């Protein structure tokens, strides 16, 4: 059975030594009193919950799965409901929520650190509170005062959970095709009819009510995405005082049979004249839903980050103990019949690849969350705007780059374990299955790549990307002269220059042929991911160099991992850039009938 130990030292390294979040919070009035002691206490207690409550039911939840009992009734695996009750009793759902509605008001970056551990311990279970928090964010930003008063305290308190209902059998990414319809009633509510599929957490036994946020079309709505509205559709219709009334006309028709995340109830949801209430303005529901969708995209990145850490920990534990063969340079444990496989160079390549992507992506994800705190809480309006724009650019990268690496890392874990990795009892194959969905939902990674290149970079002529370039220049100005930083800064600068040139080339070609964006987008996003990781690995190496005289092996390991990243992983960008430059012709010239 796989184990999990919260990586507190690594998490605290990023939060305090690299990002210096305590200093950042002092500039935000709403978080000025949030100090290191409080942050560490929250993370440590959260880690205990993850390791002691959630991790032990991860494999059993996968094997048992959710069960459909007919008439819309679904039960979660053994222990899931009890874990939810402990989660709620400890106040965890309220961690980063608005105190006006019962939240604790802690920074988002603290919530992100906790979210990483939740996903390491049990991704399927973590989807229930994850989607609930997304529903909270959507209603906080777009709900009426009455809707906020009714729904937010109960979502924050854990009495109710939330979902997002977008996809239909004939329409996934292209939401402009959705057919679910909403008809207005005299009292201001609506009757909603249609079918939604792939609805995570759509029905379960963990909470007394489920609040579905449903996209639907009004009778006179324009065609396409400009004719979509958003509605609150509760499983049980609440009375004005929050007590539960009648069962609503939305039910789970069946559970989807999935490759992984078996402990989460992925449902086909039928709406048969279900009562709903409009969120925001008519025909502008997609704008409101994007709040939840973007939160979900960042959350999916954290799902894979959590799996990366868990897969790495179990890979290392196995590699240290598994005796197999002898070291090519001579026995390392001659008293044993064979050496542990960690002595072999290629095993180390796999372990270091896992480690470098996990630690680099942690820095990237935590930084993105700190920017969300700045976008919400910085007293300077220009700083809030700049932070919001940077988060907007980072969102598709966090979703796609981290989930791609999450699947890669889980697969490497399986390879390290060899045949045992393919066997259920060791747990690694579950990480592979669970990680695979993260590259698909909340917009496939190709969609994220198109969003990054088309909407977030080319649409503003690379202005936000250039602002990130200013951070690189600041690092170069402060440390580019140092011999001990050259191995980290030089490849960062080189890649930055190549990205600048590549972006201009794609932009020019796209003006003549829009397919050039689609042809280059996936390669481009991965290059940008490496540019971001190069920056953060250089920053982490700088901190580790400053502490290298302490004799602490933690910093020695950090430097070794940084060197591995720049020597063995970052060079991938050369092939990616060449591929991105190849253009659309070789992809589009073959007649579709000849495939």
Q: What is the pLDDT of residues 187-233, one digit of tens each?
A: 999 999 999 999 999 999 999 999 999 999 999 999 998 999 999 99
Q: Which domain holds residue 102?
A: 8-148
pLDDT of amino acid 173: 80
Residues 6+ apart with CB under 8 A from 96: 103, 104, 105, 106, 107, 108, 110, 111
Whether residue 265 lies inside any domain: the answer is yes
Contact 124, 434 (CB under 8 A): yes
Q: In terms of domains, do 137 and 167 share one? A: no
Whether residue 371 lies inside any domain: the answer is no
pLDDT of amino acid 290: 79
Q: How many CB atoms lie within 10 A of CB 417?
A: 23
Q: In terms of domains, do 30 and 120 share one? A: yes
Which ranges constitute the DSSP H helices of 340-457? Answer: 345-377, 381-417, 428-437, 445-450
Domain boundary among 115, 148, 181: 148
**Token output for 451:** 């969003």
Torsions phi, psi for 201 (to 5 deg) = 65, 25
Contact 63, 81 (CB under 8 A): no
Whether residue 156 lies inside any domain: the answer is no
Mean pLDDT by runs of 10 across the 595 residues of the chain is 93 98 96 97 98 98 98 97 98 97 97 98 98 95 97 98 95 86 97 97 98 96 93 97 97 98 98 97 88 86 98 98 96 96 98 98 98 96 96 97 98 98 95 98 95 96 96 97 97 98 97 96 98 98 95 97 98 98 95 93
pLDDT of amino acid 276: 98
pLDDT of amino acid 2: 86
> How far apart, in whole angstroms, are the C-alpha atoms of residue 342 and residue 318?
9
Q: In terms of domains, do 571 and 471 share one? A: yes
Q: In terms of domains, do 470 and 539 share one? A: yes
Whether residue 339 lies inside any domain: the answer is no
**Model pTM?**
0.97
> How far apart, in whole angstroms, are the C-alpha atoms of residue 544 and residue 484?
11
Q: What's the full length of the chain, in residues?
A: 595
Domain boundary among 284, 310, 344: 284
pLDDT of amino acid 286: 86
Domain boundary among 231, 265, 284: 284
What are the tens digits of pLDDT across the range 382-415?
Answer: 999 999 999 999 999 999 999 999 999 999 999 9
Q: In terms of domains, do 22 and 141 share one? A: yes
Contact 221, 228 (CB under 8 A): yes
Q: In terms of domains, do 567 and 458 share one? A: yes
> How far apart, in whole angstroms, are the C-alpha atoms of residue 174 and residue 120?
32
- Our count of domains for the chain comes to 3
Whether residue 319 lies inside any domain: the answer is no
Q: In terms of domains, do 192 and 117 share one? A: no
Q: In terms of domains, do 139 and 223 share one? A: no
Contact 6, 51 (CB under 8 A): yes
Q: Which of 168, 309, 442, 516 is catalytic?
A: 442
Q: In terms of domains, do 143 and 170 share one? A: no
Q: In terms of domains, do 214 and 170 share one? A: yes
Is there a catalytic annotation at residue 17?
A: no
Whether residue 377 lies inside any domain: the answer is no
CA dihedral 240, 242, 245, 251 (to 10 degrees): 120
Look up the CATH number of the domain holding residue 139: 1.10.540.10
Q: In terms of domains, do 197 and 82 share one? A: no
Please give the angle made by the CA atoms of 571, 573 and 576, to the nearest 5 degrees. 135
Tell me 71's DSSP state. Answer: T
pLDDT of amino acid 105: 97
Whether residue 36 lies inside any domain: the answer is yes
Whether residue 367 lies inside any domain: the answer is no
CA dihedral 226, 228, 232, 237 (to 10 degrees): 150
Look up the CATH number of the domain holding residue 233: 2.40.110.20
Q: In terms of domains, do 142 and 214 share one? A: no
What contacts 24+ positions apart, CB below 8 Å, involve 168-176? Answer: 168/194, 168/195, 168/196, 168/197, 169/195, 169/197, 173/443, 173/444, 173/447, 175/215, 175/225, 175/228, 175/286, 176/223, 176/224, 176/225, 176/227, 176/228
């Amino acid at each position: 059975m796989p184990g999990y130990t919260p990586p507190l030292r690594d998490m605290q390294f990023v939060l305090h030594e690299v990002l210096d979040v305590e200093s950042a919070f002092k500039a935000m009035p709403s978080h000025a009193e949030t100090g290191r002691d409080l942050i560490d206490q929250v993370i440590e207690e959260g880690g205990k919950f993850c390791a002691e409550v959630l991790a032990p039911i991860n494999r059993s939840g996968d094997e048992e799965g959710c069960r459909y009992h007919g008439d819309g009734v679904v039960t979660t695996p053994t222990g899931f409901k009890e874990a939810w009750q402990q989660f709620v009793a400890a106040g965890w759902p309220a961690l980063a929520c608005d105190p006006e509605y019962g939240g604790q008001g802690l920074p988002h970056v603290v919530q992100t650190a906790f979210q990483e551990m939740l996903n390491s311990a049990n991704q399927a279970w973590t989807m229930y509170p994850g989607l609930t928090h997304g529903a909270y964010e959507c209603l906080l930003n777009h709900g009426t005062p009455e809707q906020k008063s009714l729904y937010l305290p109960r979502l924050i308190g854990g009495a109710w959970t939330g979902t997002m209902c977008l996809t239909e059998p004939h329409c996934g990414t292209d939401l402009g095709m959705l057919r679910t319809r909403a008809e207005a009633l005299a009292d201001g509510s609506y009757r909603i009819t249609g079918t939604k599929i792939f609805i995570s957490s759509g029905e379960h036994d963990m909470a007394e009510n489920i609040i579905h946020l449903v996209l639907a079309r009004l009778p006179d709505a324009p065609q396409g995405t400009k004719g979509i509205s958003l509605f609150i559709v509760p499983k049980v219709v609440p009375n004005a005082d929050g007590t539960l009334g009648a069962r609503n006309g939305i039910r789970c028709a069946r559970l989807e049979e999935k490759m992984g995340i078996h402990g989460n109830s992925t449902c086909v949801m039928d709406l048969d004249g279900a009562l709903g209430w409009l969120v925001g303005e008519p025909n502008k529901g997609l704008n409101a839903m994007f709040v939840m969708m973007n939160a979900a995209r960042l959350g999916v990145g954290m799902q894979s980050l959590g799996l990366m850490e868990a897969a790495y920990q179990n890979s290392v534990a196995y590699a240290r103990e598994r005796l197999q063969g002898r070291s090519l340079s001579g026995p390392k444990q001659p008293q044993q019949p064979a050496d542990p496989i960690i002595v072999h160079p290629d095993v180390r390549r796999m372990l270091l690849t896992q480690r470098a992507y996990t630690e680099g992506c942690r820095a990237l994800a935590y930084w993105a969350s700190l920017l969300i705190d700045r976008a919400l809480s910085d007293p300077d309006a220009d700083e809030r705007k700049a932070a919001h724009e940077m988060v907007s650019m980072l969102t598709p990268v966090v979703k796609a780059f981290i989930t791609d690496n999450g699947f890669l890392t889980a697969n490497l874990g399986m390879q390290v374990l060899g045949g045992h990795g393919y066997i259920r009892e060791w747990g690694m194959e579950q990480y592979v299955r669970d990680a695979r969905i993260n590259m698909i939902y909340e917009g496939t990674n190709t969609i994220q790549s198109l969003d990054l290149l088309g909407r977030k970079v080319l649409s503003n002529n690379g202005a936000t990307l250039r602002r990130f370039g200013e951070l690189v220049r600041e690092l170069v100005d402060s440390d580019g002269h140092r011999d001990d930083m050259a191995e980290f800064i030089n490849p960062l600068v080189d890649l930055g220059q190549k990205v600048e040139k590549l972006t201009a080339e794609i932009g020019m070609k796209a003006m003549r042929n829009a397919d050039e964006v689609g042809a280059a987008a996936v390669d481009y996003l991965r290059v940008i991911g490496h540019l971001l990781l190069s920056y953060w690995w250089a920053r982490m190496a700088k901190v580790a160099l400053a502490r290298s005289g302490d004799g602490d092996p933690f910093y020695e390991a950090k430097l070794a991992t940084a060197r591995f990243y720049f020597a063995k992983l970052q060079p991938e960008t050369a092939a990616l850039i060449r591929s991105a430059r190849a253009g659309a012709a070789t992809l589009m010239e073959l007649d579709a009938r000849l495939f």
